[in-house]
């Protein structure tokens, strides 16, 4: 899913909490371009082995002023 030419920044001793409460080990960080509708932004993404394609955090939605998208 991530291009082979993208620099990967190794992350040590970092965990996130999945929405279910499960801990997820972060493997590395990479900068990717994300497009949603008319919005295109390059953001840092933390990469982990999860079943979902991608999880966008509240910080990303705030940056694009999209917090009310699920109201």
pLDDT (tens digit per residue) in 25-55? 999 999 888 887 787 888 888 888 887 776 6
Please state whether 68 falls in left (phi above 0), alpha (psi between -120 and 50) or beta.
alpha
Long-range contact pairs involving 26-33 (C-beta distance under 8 Å, separation at least 24)? 30/2, 30/6, 31/6, 31/7, 32/2, 32/6
pLDDT of residue 52: 73
């Amino acid at each position: 899913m991530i291009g082979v030419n993208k620099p990967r920044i190794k992350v040590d001793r970092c965990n996130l909490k999945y929405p279910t409460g499960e801990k997820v080990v972060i493997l590395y960080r990479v900068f990717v371009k994300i497009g949603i509708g008319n919005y295109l932004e390059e953001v840092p993404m933390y990469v982990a082995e999860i079943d979902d394609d991608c999880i966008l955090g509240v910080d990303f939605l705030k940056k694009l002023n999209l917090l009310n998208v699920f109201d």
